[in-house]
Homo-oligomer: A and B are copies of this chain.
Amino acid sequence: MPVAEMLRTYPADLGGVDRDALRRCIEECVACAQACTACADACLSESDEMLPRLRKCVRTNTDCADVCETTARVLSRHTGYDANITRAVLEACATVCRSCGDECEAHASEHEHCRVCAESCRRCEQACRELIDTLGRGAGG
C-alpha cells in the first residue's frame, strides 16, 4: 500500500504533522476496516447455535469498518487542513475500535477471526490515540 509514497509526493506543506504517526494511523485504519468487514461476514457464517450470540459482534464490526474507512480517507487529505475535523474523527475512531476490540476479544477463544480482528482493532485504536497526542503537541507548540 503506497501510503508513505503518497505522503512523500504531496506537493504542498504537510504542516507540523508527525509523518510516521500519520502513516501508521492510515495503514491501521485501512487494515482494521478490511478485517472488520471480513469478521462481520465470518460471524454470519458461524453455526446456527453460535450465530445468535454474535449479533452484537456483527453490528459493531460493521460500524467499525465504516468509521475506520472514513477516518483513513480524512487522514489521507491534507489540503485545507482543519484540526477540529481530524481530532473529532480520530476520537470517534478510537472509541469505535475500543468497543469493537472488546466485543471481538470476548469471542477470541472460540472464533479465530474474532481474535485476528480484535488485534487489528487494538492496533488501530492505539495508532489513533498516538496521532491525537501528536496533534495536541502541535496545537500547544
Contact = CB atoms under 8 A, between A and B. Distances in A.
A6 B35 contact: yes
Interface in A31-74: 31, 34-35, 37-42, 44-46, 48, 51-52, 55-60, 62-63, 65-67, 69-70, 72-74
A84 B74 contact: no
Contact of A89 (B12, B26, B67, B117): B67
Interface residues of A, number: 69
A25 interface: no
- With most chain B CB atoms within 10 A of its CB, the pick from A84, A91, A95 is A95
Contacts of A79: 41, 44-45, 55-56, 58-59
B82 A34 contact: no
A5 B115 CA distance: 10
Interface string A97-129: 011000100000001110111011000000000
A70 B88 CA distance: 14
Interface of A: 1-3, 5-7, 9-12, 26-27, 30-31, 34-35, 37-42, 44-46, 48, 51-52, 55-60, 62-63, 65-67, 69-70, 72-74, 76-80, 82, 84-85, 88-89, 91-92, 95-96, 98-99, 103, 111-113, 115-117, 119-120
